[in-house]
Structure 1
Amino acid sequence: MSVLPMVFTSGWASGINAYAVVLLLGLFGRAGVGGDVPEALQRPEVLIAAGVLFLCEAVADKIPYVDTVWDAVHTLVRPACGAMVGALLAGQSDGSLSEAAYGALGGTTALVMHLVKMSTRMAVNTSPEPLSNILLSAAEDLGVAALVVFALFHPAVAAGIAGTLLVLGIGTVVVLWRRVRAFLRRRKERKAARREGRATAPA
């Protein structure tokens, strides 16, 4: 396993769904597929906990505003998980980087992607219908699963894809928040105009 690209990809994925990363790596490790996976991620209790929490996230992540609360709670959890996985993967490497360096890379990448996800969800929640949340959450789950599995076999290519998606995600957040601010500004102006109209209306 090429560890540096794997750390970056797992960090990206942890920023979206940390429990899916731990669950997938652990299951593939126990199956002996895709290279060496740290033993700590293959422990039965770790897999059970990750599986239960993954199911909780799969539900919470698809409910408008509940997903925002869930994301806020996981502002520390996802980067910590990305850092933990990165440090564990460092134990599989004979390279020159330390566990702390791998952990910092995984944690930082997870934090940036988490902020992208949380900001995107907050923007999407301005839509009155729940379908957009469900579709976006499903796309995120499938994307995480596909890229983590792909990274086990082609880590360098997967890291390139993760980096591209990270940059695109940041760009999307910028565009979405500009539109959200414009929407909120127009709504505020309409409310102010209505208040002014009532105030000037003849008695």
Structure 2
Amino acid sequence: MTGVELLALAASTSLLAGWRLYLVTFVTGWAMRLGWINLPDKLVALDVLANPWVLVISGAAALFEFFADKIAFIDSLWDGINSAIRPLGGALLALAIVDPGDPVWQVAAFLAGGGAAFVAHAGKAGARAMVNASPEPFSNIAVSAGEDVATAGLLALAIANPIAAALIALILVLLSLWLILAARRMVGRLLNRTPA
């Protein structure tokens, strides 16, 4: 992979970590183990994702998250717990992908990766808070399944064509920002209602 492709891969994986950190870690590690992601020799530190223990732990967490995300109150609790974990995971994924010999790139990747993961997580959590307020369970399940498909599809694209995935990731960051603002407006309207 070229330097531009590695940056695009870092941007995409860190953004997706804001939605599904454990799935992203598992699939990225599995792709490395199968040789689908060929990293330059100087980036062998990222091979830690292909470690069997990391694969087992991230795979088990991804499986738990898959089911927990479909139940409204558990989903909200899970998003709350992961409010610090997902942005940090996105930052570490981005940090692991860039050139370890250049501290400037490391700091920039850590900050950008953490920021992208935080914005994606905040957008997801805000949107899901609105959906979870619905009394019926089907909208929550449909939105969660859509997130699963979008994450898996964009991650597959990031592995096959990192630059195209980074462009889509940029659009998703903008969408996440819009969702954060929409959730904020909705909460403001709910709090400002006057009783009849």
Q: Give the shorter-chain TM-score range.
A: 0.7 to 0.9
Whether the 8 Å contact between 1:11 and 1:109 is mirrored in structure 2 is yes
Following TM superposition, by how much is the alpha carbon of 1:67 offset from its aligned partner in structure 2, in angstroms? 0.6
Distance 1:95-1:148 versus aligned 2 partners, 3 A rule: farther
Equivalence for 1:84: 92
Structure 2 residues not aligned, in runs of 5+? none
Query: Within the alignment, does 1:9 sit opposite 2:40 as a pair?
Result: no
Distance 1:46-1:76 versus aligned 2 partners, 3 A rule: same
Deviations 1:134-166 (A, max 9, x none): 111111111111111111121111011011012
* Counterpart code for 1:132: S
What number of residue pairs does the alignment pair up?
188
**Structure 2 length-normalised TM:** 0.87
Task: Name the CA distance, whole Å, in 2 between partners of 1:184 and 1:66.
Answer: 24
Structure 1 residues not aligned, in runs of 5+? 194-203
Task: Name the CA distance, whole Å, in 1 between partners of 2:89 and 2:103.
Answer: 22
Following TM superposition, by how much is the alpha carbon of 1:34 offset from its aligned partner in structure 2, in angstroms? 3.5
Task: Name the CA distance, whole Å, in 2 between partners of 1:13 and 1:115.
Answer: 12
Query: Within the alignment, does 1:158 sit opposite 2:165 as a pair?
Result: yes
- Percent identity, aligned pairs only, is 34
Deviations 1:15-61 (A, max 9, x none): 00100111010111111113328211100000000000001111111
**Structure of greater Rg:** 1
Runs of 4+ with deviation above 6 angstroms: 93-96
**Structure 1 length-normalised TM:** 0.84
Alignment map for 1:64-103 (pairs within 5 Å): 64-91=72-99, 97-103=104-110
Q: Which moved more, 1:70-79 or 1:170-179?
A: 170-179
Task: Name the CA distance, whole Å, in 2 between partners of 1:111 and 1:75.
Answer: 8
Q: Residue 167 of structure 1 is aligned with which of 171, 174, 187? A: 174
Whether the 8 Å contact between 2:158 and 2:166 is mirrored in structure 1 is yes
Equivalence for 2:143: 136
Whether the 8 Å contact between 1:62 and 1:134 is mirrored in structure 2 is yes
RMSD: 2.0
Distance 1:96-1:154 versus aligned 2 partners, 3 A rule: farther
* Counterpart code for 1:101: A
